[in-house]
Amino acid sequence: MSGNSMIARFLIGLSFVIHPALAVSEEESKCHTVQGPDSDTNPGENKERFEYRITVADKLRLSAASAGAEWLETEGLLLRARVEADSDSWGTALQLVQKACRQAELALQQAEYESKAWKNRVVD
Amino acid sequence: MIRAITIGLIILFASMVFQSAYAGPPEDRRAFIAYFESRFPAIPFAEYANGIYAIDQDARDQWLEIEEFPPYEFAVEQGASLWQERFPDGKSYSDCFKNSKNGVRQNYPEFDTRTGEVVTLAKAINLCRNKHGQNTLEFGGEKILALSAFIAFESRGEPFNINVPNDDVRALAAYEEGKRFYYTKRGQLNLSCADCHVVSVGQYVRADHLSASLGHPTHFPVYRSKFGSMLSLHQRFAGCVRDVRAKPFELQSTEYRALEYFLTYMSNGLEVNGPGARK
């Protein structure tokens, strides 16, 4: 990389902008989009849905962690989701799980991309 | 004739590709220094030990005033007192750090060929304590920071001389791990160390100018006015990782020790000037 190059700087900045475009699409995501509103009339179904999704999200988070790529707030989001679920606030709980799950997915994608991309930035 | 020229060009090209793909630590360091020298031709090499104060004149002026009554002096005094303590077996730190009169800081981190690990100064302090029957000090705790500050102060003026033995694949792997960490984007903000401390040196981040990585380790530990206390290099690493919204690693983790190994090797030849004072 020619560090003083305006082109190099532009490309590095662009990599931040286009990074979300490399992200896993909603259709391909392992994190299911939250379906329907908070259902107080059927708490059993909400609990089952929540437990499944928080398990998926936490597995993805742990995968990101083992790749050294975990983001800062993912674990906190899952803890907050658990607190909301314990209070039967299922809509909020599921939204928090969804957010954490997508963060973990993006972190894993970032780690995979960076496993090769970093070499292009080495000063030479 | 044409065939001979073609073959010659192919061999020449292949050797260039091979060389660039397998650039080792000395080549990396030369390129690193050349990059900053071309970006900031007016800054002498030795000045990079002063971090942002080599680039930002206003900050430098404030720093020079602070240095008249250095806030790290208390840590140095505490460290001097701790250095003199005797372990239960009658030994002391000077029994672990040979030739300490010639300075110690400039030799760390070192690659321990017995254990295959990068040993930083903080780890070496604890290894010394354990060897002589003393408990481990908390990394990032007041005592280990005070000892580090004293050792750095006594080592001032000694040029960093970190070795990456090229006949030890484990040492090279540790160096490469640090290099990979340095250039890898991470966190929700998708930034690498290089994004700030290579590409954006001299630019603002919030209210501060970004410093060059060349010379980063030379002045640690630092007294940070923001916290009113001493701060280690690994605590600074953790802060940066947190600032890009990635989960920080543990102090003295394999990752941070590899990063320190890489960064300090890049700064070889610069003099120890710790402890430092920073905002």
In this structure, what is the dihedral angle of CA atoms A45, A47, A53, A55, given to the nearest 10 degrees? -140
User: Is residue A65 within 8 angstroms of chain B, CB to CB?
Assistant: yes
In the numeric block, which tokens belong to residue A48? 């089952």
Which residue in A12, A72, A121 is closest to B188 by CB distance?
A: A72
Q: Where are the beta strands (DSSP E) in chain B?
A: 110-112, 117-119, 204-205, 208-209, 222-224, 229-231, 276-278
Assess whether B108 and B186 both reside in one domain: no
pLDDT at A108: 97
Q: Is B1 contained in some domain?
A: no
- Alpha carbon distance A31, B76 (integer Å): 52
Convert the pLDDT of each residue in A52-98 to its tens digit: 999 999 999 999 999 999 999 999 999 999 999 999 999 999 999 99
Convert the pLDDT of each residue in B117-148 to its tens digit: 999 999 999 999 999 999 999 999 999 999 99
pLDDT at A21: 43
How many structural domains comprise chain B?
A: 2
In the numeric block, which tokens belong to residue B1? 């004739």
Q: Which of B139, B120, B73, B128 is nearest to B274 (CA)?
A: B73
> What are B199's strand-pairing partners?
none
Q: Is B206 contained in some domain?
A: yes
- B245 to chain A, minimum CA–CA distance in Å? 5
pLDDT at B258: 98
Assess whether B193 and B248 both reside in one domain: yes
* Residue-range definition of the domain harbouring residue B90: 73-154
pLDDT at B228: 95
Q: Is B139 contained in some domain?
A: yes
pLDDT at B19: 47
Contact B192 A124 (CB under 8 A): no
Q: Is B92 contained in some domain?
A: yes
Alpha-carbon distance values, B103 to A98, B127, B196 (Å): 54, 18, 31
Assess whether B45 and B118 both reside in one domain: no
Assess whether B121 and B140 both reside in one domain: yes
| Neighbour-count burial of B76, counting CB atoms closer than 10 A to its CB (0-12 exposed, 13-18 middle, 19+ buried) | buried
- Alpha carbon distance B187, A70 (integer Å): 7
pLDDT at A13: 47
Domain-terminating residue out of B109, B134, B154: B154
Residues of A in contact with B29 (CB under 8 A): none
* Segment A36-51 mean pLDDT: 68
Contact A3 B249 (CB under 8 A): no
Q: Is B3 contained in some domain?
A: no
Contact B183 A71 (CB under 8 A): no
Per-residue pLDDT of chain B (279 residues; tens, 9 = 90+): 877 777 666 655 555 544 444 579 999 999 999 999 999 999 999 999 999 999 999 999 999 999 999 999 999 999 999 999 999 999 999 999 988 888 999 999 999 999 999 999 999 999 999 999 999 999 999 999 999 999 999 999 999 999 999 899 999 999 999 999 999 999 999 999 999 999 999 999 888 899 999 999 999 999 999 999 999 999 999 999 999 999 999 999 999 999 999 999 999 999 999 999 998
- A59 to chain B, minimum CA–CA distance in Å? 16
User: Is residue B20 within 8 angstroms of chain A, CB to CB?
Assistant: yes
Q: Is B6 contained in some domain?
A: no
Residues of A in contact with B188 (CB under 8 A): 71-73, 103
Q: Is B265 left (phi over 0), alpha (psi -120 to 50) or beta?
A: alpha
CATH number at residue B180: 1.10.760.10
Per-residue confidence at A111, pLDDT binned at 50, 70, 90?
A: very high
Assess whether B170 and B263 both reside in one domain: yes
ipTM confidence: 0.87
**For residue B58, which amino acid is it?**
D
**What does pTM read for this prediction?**
0.87
Residues of B in contact with A17 (CB under 8 A): none
The question of whether B240 is a catalytic residue gets the answer yes
pLDDT at B5: 73
Q: Is B12 contained in some domain?
A: no
Contact B192 A69 (CB under 8 A): no
Which residue in A65, A71, A121 is closest to B192 by CB distance?
A: A121
User: Is residue B239 within 8 angstroms of chain A, CB to CB?
Assistant: no
User: Is residue B249 within 8 angstroms of chain A, CB to CB?
Assistant: yes
